[in-house]
Structures are given as C-alpha cells and as structure tokens.
Amino acid sequence: MSAGAARAPGGSGQAVAAALLVPIALVNALAFVLPVLNLLRLSFLEALPGGGLGTSYTLDNWTGTLSDVFYLELIWQSVLTSLAITLLALVTSFPIALYLHRSRGRWKTVLLVLVISPLLTSAVVRTYGWIAILADDGLVNNLLAWLGHGGGMRLMFNQVGVVIGLTEILMPYMILALLAGFGRLDPRVEEAAETLGAPPFKVFWRVVVPLTMPGVALGCLLCFVLAVSSFITPKLLGGGRVFLLATEIYDQAIVTLNWPVAATLSMIVLVIFGAALVLYARLLRAVL
C-alpha cells in the first residue's frame, strides 16, 4: 500500500469521501435547505382566513407587509434598536478586548474564560439576571432608593431594558471579533507615535483605532445581525411592550398562526442580513 493511503486520492478515494459526507449532507438537506426553501415559498403563498393556506401564489404577503404602517415601523424600529445595541456593544467591549490583547500569561487565560463563560451561559439565565438588576424592585432602583434618590425608575418592559440587556448578551461576540482583528496592532507603531510627541488620546484615536478597523467591522456585523434576530431577551425584557421583528415572527407563527406573514417577516430579516453583509464588505474594502 502506498504512503498516500491516508490521503486516499484517486477514484475510489473520492467515492469513500463522498460516502463519508452523506450523513451530514442528509441532515443539512432535510432540516436546513428544504425548510428554508419552503419558508421562501410560503411567503408567496395565499393566506386563508383562520390560519389556513391557499394553493395559489401571490405577492399579497409582501405588498401587504411592506405597505402596512405597523410593519414598516416595526422594521425601522428593529434596525434602529439593533444599530444602537451594536454601537453600545462596541464601546463597552473595546476596553476589554484591548486589555485582553495587552495582558499576558495565566491572567489572560482567566480573563478569557470570564469573557467566554457568559457566551456559554443560556440567554434565558443572563436575561433573568438583567431582570434582577432592572426590575422595579431590582438592584438599580433599590440602590437609588438607598442613596435617597427615590428609585422607581422604569428600566424594564421598554426599549431601555431591551437595549441594556442585549448589549451585554452580545458583548462576548464583539470582544472575540475585536481580539481576532487586533493582530495588526503593533506596539512599535504606537511607540513611534509617542516618540514623535503624540499625547495618549491622539495615539489611541489616530493609531490604535484605524489599525483595529477590520475587527471593529466584523464585530459590528456580528452584533447587528444577532441583535436583529434575537428573540429571548427582547421578549422577556420587553414584556410584550417592545415590538421587534423577531418577537413578531414568533407571535405570528405561534399565536396568530399566520404562517405566510411570519415567513415574509423572516425573509425580510434575511434581506436585512444581506444588506448588512454588503455594507460590511464595502467597509472592509475601504479600510484595508
């Protein structure tokens, strides 16, 4: 037998390789490709009153959704809220990522575990933690009352709570994306700027920030698409009073049983994803 056996080149090797790929291809086809194509088809299917599905194809779901003021407001609100969350996540994550990038040894591993651990903790658990902080009888309000400032601030069941909670939920993704993009950050360049007389803030703004743009762009893309499509946190912290695309998709599918509209809204989420991706590609080309 030749040394190439492990690589299994040639005709029979290809056949073996194809056989090894059959199970994963089967799962992907049956539970990913087929359902998604079906969802696309459904968004063009006629909806009958009472949750039934017609057999004829129509553009009514799309034109109906895109001409309804409620849905337009919903889409706009979702995009705007997600942008705010992305920006906040960037501002809060940047110091952590930079600190991690510059620390060394055992300490760095510990901090990395601390960053990744929330990622591995259920969104339900973390959102529940935010309820404890933001509720009327929660940490912030009780702290304010204790300090003699009355408390009674409404931090939940509104946009504020959703933005705070989701920002924190998405921070680990932003931190990891930033870290991956910090490779170009060379301390010698920063030192050169300092030697030439730049004050710390100027070094940060004119040297550090431009060099980290690829990581920033990746982190922002990731956070934005995750924010647009997240469901658990807006549902629990919004308490049914904050209407976003993802929560509406769930309500239309489970409560109202209007599958064509749920399918159409899902496709709109994917269109927003596509737009974010195009914007990301352009941004990346501009900074590189």
User: Interaction with another protein in 106-125: which residues (CB under 8 A)?
Assistant: 108-109, 111-118, 120-125
- Asked whether the CA dihedral 267, 273, 279, 281 is positive or negative, the reply is negative
Q: Is 128 in the site for another protein (CB under 8 A)?
A: yes
Name which position in 11, 50, 67, 104 contacts another protein (CB under 8 A): 104
String marking each residue 27-66 x if it binds another protein according to CB under 8 A: xx-xxx-xxx-xx--x------------------------
Nearer CB in complex with another protein: 180/281? 180
What is the footprint of another protein within residues 190-209 (CB under 8 A)? Answer: 190-191, 200
Q: Is 67 in the site for another protein (CB under 8 A)?
A: no
Work out how close the CB of 232 gets to another protein at its nearest, in angstroms, rounded to a whole number.
Answer: 6
Task: Give the 3-state secondary structure percentages of the chain, helix then strand then coil, rounded to 5.
Answer: 80, 5, 20
Phi-psi region of 197 (alpha: psi -120 to 50; beta: other; left: phi over 0): left
Work out how close the CB of 72 gets to another protein at its nearest, in angstroms, rounded to a whole number.
Answer: 20
String marking each residue 218-247 x if it binds another protein according to CB under 8 A: -------xx-xxxxx--xx---------x-
Nearer CB in complex with another protein: 189/286? 189
Q: Is 8 in the site for another protein (CB under 8 A)?
A: yes
| Token couple for 229 | 């499509």
CA–CA separation, 181 and 216 (whole Å): 7
CB 75 within 8 A of CB 268: yes
| Token couple for 187 | 């301390």
Q: Is 211 in the site for another protein (CB under 8 A)?
A: no
Nearer CB in complex with another protein: 69/255? 255
**By three-state DSSP, how is residue 130 classified?**
helix
| Token couple for 203 | 């070094």
Which of the 8 DSSP states describes residue 156?
Answer: S
- The distance of Cα 121 from the centroid of its chain, to the nearest Å, equals 16
Name which position in 83, 84, 87, 133 contacts another protein (CB under 8 A): 133
Binding region for another protein (CB under 8 A) out of 59-67, 78-86, 131-139, 209-217: 131-139
CB 63 within 8 A of CB 49: no
